[in-house]
């Protein structure tokens, strides 16, 4: 049985950071801790599946990848 893989992107957005999970699910944060807050949100959402969180630069390059899998504790 094949499981669906979730990709969550953290990317710069309007002088802040956006967590893009799916169309319509893309909250964003501003302020000094915006990037860390967006990553924290993504990690909390990641508890419900398997996949990865991709942190992107302003150029669209992947800066960091955080893998996760439900029940395995790899987050």
Q: Give the tens place of pLDDT for each residue, 4-39.
A: 788 999 999 999 999 998 888 799 999 999 999 999
CA dihedral sign of residues 37, 48, 56, 58 = negative
Residue-wise DSSP of 9-47: EEEEETTEEEEESBTTB--EE-STTHHHHHHHHHHHHGG
The DSSP 8-state label assigned to residue 73 in this structure reads T
Predicted TM-score (pTM) above 0.85: no
Q: Are strands 6-13 and 50-56 parallel, antiparallel or unpaired?
A: parallel
């Amino acid at each position: 049985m094949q499981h669906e893989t979730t990709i969550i992107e953290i990317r710069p957005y309007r002088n802040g950071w956006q967590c893009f999970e799916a169309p319509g699910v893309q909250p964003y944060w501003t302020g000094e801790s915006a990037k860390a807050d967006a990553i924290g949100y993504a990690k909390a959402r990641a508890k419900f599946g398997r996949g990865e969180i991709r942190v992107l630069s302003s150029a669209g390059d992947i800066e960091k990848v955080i893998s996760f899998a439900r029940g395995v504790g790899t987050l």
